[in-house]
Structure 1
């Protein structure tokens, strides 16, 4: 299906992922509309509805006449678990209700996380794995996924791993996360560059991911130790046995079978091509 005549609502466009994805969608000639909390957040030249996921009037206006929804709005790094659940589950539920009422034929694409997979399983996380995460962010995402899957809408869920690049500073913060989490330096992690968030979304807009959960990742999980070095950080080395060696690794073979091909295949390529 061509997306050139479609109208796409994008939520979460002031976030690290959303701001970079919206720019790429607009540059590709897609007709986008955004839902933003404040007038000052409106990107130049992009039609906007001012409101939030808990404003029924704004939601109804935002989804009216759209063919696709790209739902990125989420709360992640905060100790306020109530806010995480309200934003990620209740907010998604409200958006689903508005879409069912105003644009029931629209495709609803939701960004989720590969953090949903158990730390102690014996292989990379796969879309059909049972998931019951304990932390608020992935748990709220699983609950939101379930709401969408049961909504009766045409849907797709894209589970993203660690996102980096385009000057977002996320990878530069990795040594801090590793120290706080006491991660083993040999632990490898799936990654995806912002360019390939767009690659995946363009593919999802064609319909090939409809009614599926799909892991999106690049081609080379990299060790925490190496990633820290790439951004000028330093982690203490260790030869101790690595427990839970598949934690934070996701199996993206389904995405590849559906036609996903990352443009930035590895973090090393991103460094070489100055895409960080």
Structure 2
């Protein structure tokens, strides 16, 4: 098998893709802004997808690419996909699952469109909510109270290790060309339940305190600065109260084992909340 290029190689998902490919003895190359953070023993190339010319040395002898586009802007994405198509034969793109639908939207959908038109063989991974997003509560978890809106919003959060394991499976096996896989964790939990599970994992009682959405809006605006993005996030969280994110069996079907539970994720990350 020819070389596999992993972009976003030091991130939550990409780092696990790299480590799982390397553990399997496969020829993997990591593409990262900070290559010194790539695990020892793995070939690493410095670069930035938003500067597509930096892809050229990374693409030498590459057959397959795991693509994770940075940020929410598609600027320079067309050139990056074109350069990948000039060297590789297939791409596995980490896209996203839109609430209530199995199609990607926003910048994820735009990049999917670029890939579809590129001539590359492709597979799209569309995970729902990332369990790792709950790390944003870490400071409040340490204080014993999480004050946040929509405590009854329910999602089937997925462990980043499962996303990576599916990516590795797709990269190293046949029969996935043209597939788009909607992926979640194995069970739906409300945000209040997620907080309780994290508390149990770290050995601390943590309670949920409902925050009015308008109060949360002010806090998020101060942190993110993008009013449209804040509004979109609040609307999405609110939608999961009446229309929970339903669990899929994609991980089980593809890997032959159950998806990792949110409790397992919390135990794996307990040190991050202490």
Partner SS state of residue 102, structure 1:
coil
Q: Which runs of 5+ in 1 are unaligned?
A: 76-83, 118-124, 133-138
Task: State the distance in 2 between where 1:203 and 1:223 align.
Answer: 30
Residue 157 (structure 1) aligned to one of 119, 124, 140: 124
Two-structure CA RMSD over aligned residues (Å): 2.9
Q: Which runs of 5+ in 2 are unaligned?
A: 141-145, 200-205, 212-237, 270-274
| Corresponding position of 1:212 | 179
Structure 1 residue 62: Cα displacement: 1.3
Partner SS state of residue 122, structure 2:
strand
Residue 17 (structure 1) aligned to one of 13, 19, 23: 13
Partner SS state of residue 207, structure 2:
coil
Structure 2 residue 160 is matched with structure 1 residue 194: yes
Structure 1 residue 151: Cα displacement: 1.7
Rate the CA distance shift 1:140–1:32 in 2: closer, same or farther, 3 A.
same
Partner SS state of residue 25, structure 1:
helix
Rate the CA distance shift 1:248–1:36 in 2: closer, same or farther, 3 A.
farther
Structure with the bigger percentage of helix: 2
**Is contact 2:55–2:80 with CA below 8 Å preserved after alignment?**
yes
Rate the CA distance shift 1:260–1:126 in 2: closer, same or farther, 3 A.
farther
Deviations 1:206-235 (A, max 9, x none): 133321221111221211111011122421
Structure 1 residue 153: Cα displacement: 0.9
Structure 2 residue 107 is matched with structure 1 residue 90: no
Task: State the distance in 2 between where 1:217 and 1:224 align.
Answer: 15
How many residue pairs are counted as aligned between the two chains?
230
TM-score by length of 1: 0.71
Task: State the distance in 2 between where 1:73 and 1:144 align.
Answer: 8
Residue 263 (structure 2) aligned to one of 246, 252, 268: 268
Residue 231 (structure 1) aligned to one of 189, 198, 201: 198
Partner SS state of residue 16, structure 1:
coil
**Is contact 2:186–2:258 with CA below 8 Å preserved after alignment?**
no
Higher mean displacement: 36-45 or 58-67: 36-45
Rate the CA distance shift 1:37–1:243 in 2: closer, same or farther, 3 A.
closer
Higher mean displacement: 192-201 or 55-64: 55-64
Task: State the distance in 1 between where 2:182 and 2:118 align.
Answer: 21
Task: State the distance in 1 between where 2:185 and 2:240 align.
Answer: 21
Partner SS state of residue 231, structure 1:
helix
The aligned runs of 1:30-179 (5 Å cut-off) are 30-75=26-71, 84-85=72-73, 89-103=74-88, 106-114=89-97, 116-117=98-99, 125-127=100-102, 129=103, 132=105, 139-164=106-131, 170-174=133-137, 179=147
Task: State the distance in 1 between where 2:239 and 2:107 align.
Answer: 26
